Amino acid sequence: MNKKVLVTGASGHLGGVLFRSLANLGYKNLVGTDLKKKNIGKNQKFILANLKNLKAITKMSKGVHAIVHFGAIPIEDTQPNILQNNIIGTYNLFEAARINKVKRIIFASSNHAIGFHRRTTKLNEFSNQRPDSHYGLSKAFGEELSRFYADKFNIKSMCIRIGSCLKVPQDRRHVSTWISYDDLTQLVDIGIKHKAIHHVIVYGASKNKKSWWNNSRAYQLGYKPKDSSDKFDIHLLSKNEHKNKMALLFQGGVFTSANFKGDIKNIK
Ligand SMILES: NC(=O)c1ccc[n+]([C@@H]2O[C@H](COP(=O)([O-])OP(=O)(O)OC[C@H]3O[C@@H](n4cnc5c(N)ncnc54)[C@H](O)[C@@H]3O)[C@@H](O)[C@H]2O)c1
């Protein structure tokens, strides 16, 4: 791919992984951006910018074909911080894309957009959002924002509800939620290139037998995960959640029980 692709959050964990793996896949015109410069190679193009700054984001998305949007606070934080970085930041990014006629956006959504679903419920692309935190709410917002920009302005989008993207699973919950770096790269690549995409929600998960998600929409688009959590010995994984009965009930795990003032039996 010779067209320009912008990766936000390029100094972070997954943005950094994708910045390198997409280059290895043959993306020749990659530009990274982040509010700090970290782990960026000498030959890699990089722009320092804050997503809160619409003017800066508009300037750097000129001539861009697709944006891989991974820049965000990736965990729970205060409502003002999430509002500024994740909600306004993502709004700015889509606005900049509209102004500059960017064709596609791949949005790093999260399992925390659906975290208050029970673990016994198998979800698919049409399942209701059920955010479990301010963070999850910002991802639910991003999913709807991208649907709106697709319908209204024809900016195609793929939202990847990422489970747990790590080199290897570390916790028992990851048996259901893990996705490898290679499988995430494959999904992002499909999101950038697949002609049939208008707006789509897929699950960012490898081929895990104990998955809570029916990812058939991703498979229809040609996703063929190479990895699976099945090969890891569950007994070697941490039992982080096992003293937290509430976390064990819901897909979002410990995000659901933090600051919880509700009534579990009402969350069906
Ligand atoms: N790691 C996972 O398993 C996982 C799971 C679900 C979703 N995600 C999503 O994937 C994305 C990347 O997550 P990560 O684990 O690599 O997190 P990370 O913290 O390592 O990377 C996020 C990057 O975004 C940048 N950033 C934050 N606010 C910004 C702003 N206002 N302007 C510009 N840059 C800003 C940070 O500086 C950081 O480098 C996030 O959107 C996260 O919500 C990750």
Identify residue 108 by its one-letter amino acid code. A
Contact present, 64 and 4 (Cβ < 8 Å) = yes
Residue of 265, 266, 3, 262 whose CA lies nearest to 133: 262
Rounded Cα–Cα distance for residues 224 and 212 (Å): 18
Ligand 1: centre distance to CA 75 (Å): 8
pLDDT of residue 242: 82
Residue by residue, pLDDT tens for the chain (268 residues) are 999 999 999 999 999 999 999 999 999 999 999 999 999 988 899 999 999 999 999 999 999 999 999 999 999 999 999 999 999 999 999 999 999 999 999 999 999 999 999 999 999 999 999 999 999 999 999 999 999 999 999 999 999 999 999 999 999 999 999 999 999 999 999 999 999 999 999 999 999 999 999 999 999 999 999 999 999 988 877 877 888 999 999 999 999 999 999 999 999 9
pLDDT of residue 219: 98
Beta carbon of 48 within 6 Å of any ligand 1 atom: no
In sequence order, what DSSP letters do the residues of 21-58 get, joined into one string? HHHHTT--SEEEEESS--S--TTSEEEE--TT-HHHHH
Give CATH superfamily name and number for 5-266.
Answer: NAD(P)-binding Rossmann-like Domain (3.40.50.720)
pLDDT of residue 169: 94
The domain ranges of the chain are 5-266
pTM of this prediction? Answer: 0.98
Is 181 part of the annotated catalytic residue set? no
Ligand 1: centre distance to CA 136 (Å): 13
At 56, list the tokens: 């800066």
pLDDT tens column, 21-68: 999 999 999 999 999 999 998 889 999 999 999 999 999 999 999 999
pLDDT of residue 238: 81
Ligand 1: centre distance to CA 215 (Å): 23
Side-chain half-sphere exposure of 55, counting CA atoms within 13 A: 0
Residue 34, beta-bridge partner list: 48
Beta carbon of 35 within 6 Å of any ligand 1 atom: yes
The catalytic position among 27, 91, 135, 203 is 135
The radius of gyration computed from the CA coordinates of the chain, to the nearest angstrom, equals 18
Q: Which atom of ligand 1 is nearest to the CA of 69?
A: 41
In sequence order, what DSSP letters do the residues of 205-259 get, joined into one string? --S-TT-SB--HHHHHTT------GGGS-GGGSB-TTTT-HHHHHBTTTHHHHTT
